Amino acid sequence: MKKQPLRIAIMTGVYAPFLSGVGVAVHQRVRWLLQQGHEVFLIHPEINDKFPIEVRDRPVAGLKEAQSFSNFSSYAYPTKPLIFYKSLPEPLHYRHWNDTEVLSSFKPDIVVVEEAPQMRGFYSCFLQGYGRPVGIKYAKQTSTPIISVFHTDIVAYIRYYLGDKFFNLIRPIIPIFIKQFSEAYSANYFPSQELLAKYKSMKSQRSEYLPYQGIDCERFHPRNICYNPIPNDHRPILLFVGRVSAEKNVTQLLEIFPIIAAKIPDVHLVIVGSGAKQEELRQQSQKFKSNITIWGESHGTELLGWFARADVFVNPSVTENFCTTNMEALASGTPVVAANAGGNPEQVIPLINGLLAEPNNSTDFAQKVIAILENPDLKADLSRQARPSVLEFDWSACMEKFEDKLYQLVEAGEQVDLVTAE
């Protein structure tokens, strides 16, 4: 028997046209819930002329697609660019907009807060942002369940940007903030067992593993080789797709590349994406001439073609939670070499669908890539097993688990209300 559709408010720190794995995942979640008949009220960042024009004009799926559903509504909260990262938004302080009033107009059965630390302001060392756990006041007033969905290992980001010396100074107080923050929500969900364990060790409360982070396995598929962006280039391709930024460890790719090229001279590294490090990489890669391509952003069938065309997908990031691009590469039949850190080991199974390298060890990383490229039988085995290894994370399977959890929370809240009323 089909259950009654829910009224779901989703509050997010990132949404199209702001480009990140979070924004893509939130849009996929919104679309899936709408397709199931749920009423979705999306509270998302406003795009304004303070952001670069290339961000404002980015051709990515978002509001236009969602607005085609009659059961969709939205509110754009006021934003300004994140300090030091002008391509991503931060919500203005709660003095400038009232989340309680916004939610009261919709009266949701449940509130989902995606990337709550960003909305609070933890992404900035100046605590730029909304200023308090978003949605909490309304949830308490109305006894509405409210959940936090973690996408990013924010503690790893803080350490990466501020350095070990400063991080060690503030390390003792981090569990205090995490405990206080996590207690504000009915539940906190992590898509990675590794990250769940890490945050529980730092006093995260009401925290659970939930494999809600999936990809569209029909869209990302080996057959997309028909969209090959470089059909006349027959060199072995190493592919990176993601934000070209410090926390993604992209500069390490330029340390890894010459070690690989010494063994495989015709290897071609393609870096797809945009970000703060893009121009720096472009300048530094000039010494390698045509063997490194800084492609920039890629969308639509071209991006699908890159994933299917690559010989090896490379991911040196040590700050991943549960990496979307790893899964997109695997679904496309492309083996992955990734740093043995964060959620990567839950996706990359050595000698099954790729290899894991010691974090921040360029030599070890290069050797893992060389091992695949120099061994056609190994590469063929990894490619053949890549797609089956990720099918359990098909978007529909993950979202069914997520939907079940929403129903459980709503029903539990209704039982509490009945007991209170009696």
- Checking if the pLDDT of 126 tops 70, the result is no
- Checking if the pLDDT of 319 tops 90, the result is no
3-state secondary structure the chain: CCCCCCEEEEEECCCCCCCCHHHHHHHHHHHHHHHCCCEEEEEEECCCCCCCHHHHCCCCCCHHHHCCCCCEEEEEECEEEECCEEEEEEECCCCCCCHHHHHHCCCCCEEEEECHHHHHCCCCCCCCCCCCCCCHHHHHHHCCCEEEECCCCHHHHHHHHHHHHHHHHHHHHHHHHHHHHHHCCCEEEECCHHHHHHHHHCCCCCEEECCCCCECCCCCCHHHHHHCCCCCCCCCEEEEECCCCHHHCCCHHHHHHHHHHHHCCCCEEEEECCCCCHHHHHHHHHHHHHHEEEEECCCHHHHHHHHHHCCEEEECCCCCCCCHHHHHHHHCCCCEEEECCCCHHHCCCECCCEEEECCCCHHHHHHHHHHHHCCHHHHHHHHHHHHHHHHHHEHHHHHHHHHHHHHHHHHHHHHHHHHHHC
Domain ranges of the chain: 7-214+395-421, 222-393
Least confident of 18-27, 211-220, 234-243, 258-267: 18-27
Average per-residue pLDDT in the chain?
92
How does residue 122 score in pLDDT terms, banded at 50, 70 and 90?
Answer: confident
* More confidently predicted of 154 and 223: 223
- Checking if the pLDDT of 245 tops 90, the result is no
For domain 7-214+395-421, is the CATH number 3.40.50.2000? yes
- Checking if the pLDDT of 38 tops 90, the result is yes
- Checking if the pLDDT of 419 tops 80, the result is no
The stretch 255-280 carries a mean pLDDT of 94
The stretch 237-256 carries a mean pLDDT of 93
How does residue 60 score in pLDDT terms, banded at 50, 70 and 90?
Answer: confident
Fold adopted by 222-393: Rossmann fold (3.40.50)
How does residue 415 score in pLDDT terms, banded at 50, 70 and 90?
Answer: low
Q: pTM for the whole thing?
A: 0.89
Q: Do domains 7-214+395-421 and 222-393 have the same CATH topology?
A: yes
Query: Which pLDDT score is estimated for 414?
Result: 65
Share of the chain above pLDDT 90, in %: 73
pLDDT digits (tens, 9 = 90+) for 396-406: 999 999 999 99
The stretch 315-332 carries a mean pLDDT of 94
pLDDT digits (tens, 9 = 90+) for 9-32: 999 999 999 988 888 889 999 999
pLDDT digits (tens, 9 = 90+) for 171-216: 899 999 899 999 999 999 999 998 999 999 999 999 999 998 889 9
